[in-house]
């Protein structure tokens, strides 16, 4: 799969020019109204693709309107075809400053609706293909299944009705520093009950990755560490391997800042994409993804000498919205706090940002979701 990356300013300029050239805007004082139809969404998508240099034979089709959690329409997901075969998508979102929240071009690109429906087809009615899709959080979308639950493209199942999703999910706001313990904090405040870990700790800090690739996505960085563990990474071409993992997992552009392209990866693509990447390196690896794993799911993996990736979400204290992160799990440790005597189950992770091991509190009671992918090589 090939993706096109341009600087944010270029994208915004192209999109504004597209709107100005095909949409009649009627302004009255400080307000303007644009009525976007399915046909107009297709025109916008085609001009966007051509404006950033994509194949001139690309055809936009199947525009799908999506809604916020109050039921208000806020944008369109539009598919692309090339030579009558699926070739990516673009998401137009009026709640985003740039009006384009994500896009991806390539044979393996699946839009958020397709990700949900393809992975959870058995829980949807025959009319699911015409079901409404709702934006739950930045880059997270959901469809209502047969039982009235919300299935999301992050593999999350929500019990609440759509119209109540804008309410608090009952999770306390948090920061990543609250759920990740530094090693010096562990030594000062805890005693070790039990542990096991891989023989070496593998990490690629974010500044280094950004400097050699111009890109960053947490899941891709986690998988790069996994690839290094299975001897599937060429240390003379880190950038090439990083972008190969990016493509094989269908990672999509989420934002651009300071010359760096940031990406978002669907949980269901992480394991299979890594298996494909390893196969291209003649390394045989299998994967298992669990959307509601227990602690033993990870400890069993480590105990047999394999590596894993943990995917988790919190309600960010900065934004009040879900923030997700994926990290390579390279060990585990059960700790007992000196002051309270309470035990804490942790995973020893490469957090995707720094170089040193951190301890992820698996027992944290305000996860919005936690999933895992284990490998066997």
Q: What percent of the chain has pLDDT over 70?
A: 81
Is pLDDT at 124 greater than 60 in this prediction? Answer: no
Tell me which range, 105-109, 307-311, 362-366, is most confidently predicted by mean pLDDT: 307-311
pLDDT given for residue 70 in this prediction: 66
pLDDT in tens, 165-200: 443 334 556 788 889 999 888 888 999 999 999 998
pLDDT given for residue 134 in this prediction: 87
Is pLDDT at 97 greater than 80 in this prediction? Answer: no
pLDDT given for residue 197 in this prediction: 95
Average pLDDT over residues 42-69: 86
How far apart, in whole angstroms, are the C-alpha atoms of residue 333 and residue 127? Answer: 47
pLDDT given for residue 33 in this prediction: 40
pLDDT given for residue 36 in this prediction: 66
Q: What is the 3-state secondary structure (H, E, C) of the chain?
A: CCCCCCCHHHHHHHHHHHHHHHCCCEEECCEEECCCCHHHHHHHHHHHHHHCCCCCCCEEEEEEEEECCCCCEEEEEEEEEECCEEEEEEEEECCCCCCEEEEEECCCCCCHHHHHHHHCHHHCCCCHHHCCEEEEECCEEEEECCCCCEEECCCCEECCCHHHCCCCCCCCCECHHHHEEEHHHHHHHEEEEEEEECCCCCCCCHHHHHHHHCEECHHHHHHHHHHHHCCCCCCCCHHHHHHHHHHHCCCEEEEEECCEEEEECCHHHHHHHHHHHHHHCCCCCEEEEECCCCHHHHHHHHHCCCCEEEEEEEEECCCCCEEEEEEEEEEEEEEEECCCCCEEEEEEEECCCCCCCEEEECCCCCCCEEEEEEEEC
Higher local confidence (pLDDT), 15 or 316: 316
8 A C-beta contact, residue 141 and residue 116: yes
pLDDT in tens, 202-249: 999 999 999 999 999 999 999 999 999 999 999 999 999 999 999 999
What pLDDT band is residue 105 in, cutting at 50, 70 and 90?
confident
Q: What percent of the chain has pLDDT over 90?
A: 43
Average pLDDT over residues 339-356: 92
pLDDT given for residue 120 in this prediction: 62
Higher local confidence (pLDDT), 104 or 159: 104
pLDDT given for residue 3 in this prediction: 34
CATH number of 176-376: 3.90.70
Mean pLDDT in the chain? 82
What pLDDT band is residue 28 in, cutting at 50, 70 and 90?
very low
pLDDT in tens, 63-89: 998 887 767 788 899 999 998 888 999
Is pLDDT at 60 greater than 70 in this prediction? Answer: yes
Hey, where are the domains in the chain?
8-164, 176-376
The structure's pTM equals 0.59
């Amino acid at each position: 799969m090939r993706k096109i990356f341009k600087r944010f300013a270029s994208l915004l300029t192209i999109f504004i020019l597209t709107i100005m050239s095909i949409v009649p805007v009627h302004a009255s004082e400080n307000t303007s109204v644009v009525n976007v139809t399915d046909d107009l969404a297709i025109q916008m998508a085609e001009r966007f693709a051509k404006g950033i240099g994509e194949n001139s034979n690309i055809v936009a089709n199947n525009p799908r309107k999506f809604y916020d959690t109050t039921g208000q329409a806020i944008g369109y997901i539009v598919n692309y075809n090339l030579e009558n075969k699926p070739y990516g998508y673009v998401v137009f979102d009026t709640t985003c400053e740039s009006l384009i929240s994500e896009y991806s071009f390539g044979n393996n690109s699946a839009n958020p609706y397709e990700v949900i429906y393809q992975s959870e087809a058995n829980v949807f009615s025959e009319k699911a293909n015409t079901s409404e899709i709702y934006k739950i959080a930045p880059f997270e979308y959901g469809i209502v299944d047969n039982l009235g639950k919300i299935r999301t493209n992050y593999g999350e199942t929500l019990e609440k009705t759509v119209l109540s999703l804008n309410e608090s999910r009952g999770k306390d706001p948090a920061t990543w520093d609250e759920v990740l313990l530094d090693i010096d904090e562990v030594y000062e405040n805890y005693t070790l009950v039990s542990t096991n870990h891989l023989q070496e700790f593998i990490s690629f800090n974010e500044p280094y990755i950004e400097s050699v690739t111009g890109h960053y996505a947490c899941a891709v960085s986690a998988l790069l560490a996994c690839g290094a563990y299975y001897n599937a990474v060429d240390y003379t071409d880190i950038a090439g391997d990083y972008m190969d993992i990016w493509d094989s997992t269908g990672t999509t552009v989420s934002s651009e800042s300071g010359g760096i392209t940031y990406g978002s990866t669907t949980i269901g693509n992480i394991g299979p994409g890594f298996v494909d990447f390893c196969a291209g390196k003649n390394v045989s690896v299998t994967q298992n993804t669990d959307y509601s794993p227990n602690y033993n799911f990870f400890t069993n993996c480590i105990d047999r000498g394999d590596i894993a990736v943990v995917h988790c979400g919190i309600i960010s204290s900065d934004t009040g919205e879900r923030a997700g992160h994926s990290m390579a799990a390279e060990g585990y440790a059960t700790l007992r706090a000196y002051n309270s005597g309470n035990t804490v189950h942790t995973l020893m992770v490469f957090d995707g940002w720094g170089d040193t091991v951190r301890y992820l509190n698996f027992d944290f009671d305000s996860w919005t979701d936690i999933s895992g992918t284990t490998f066997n090589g």
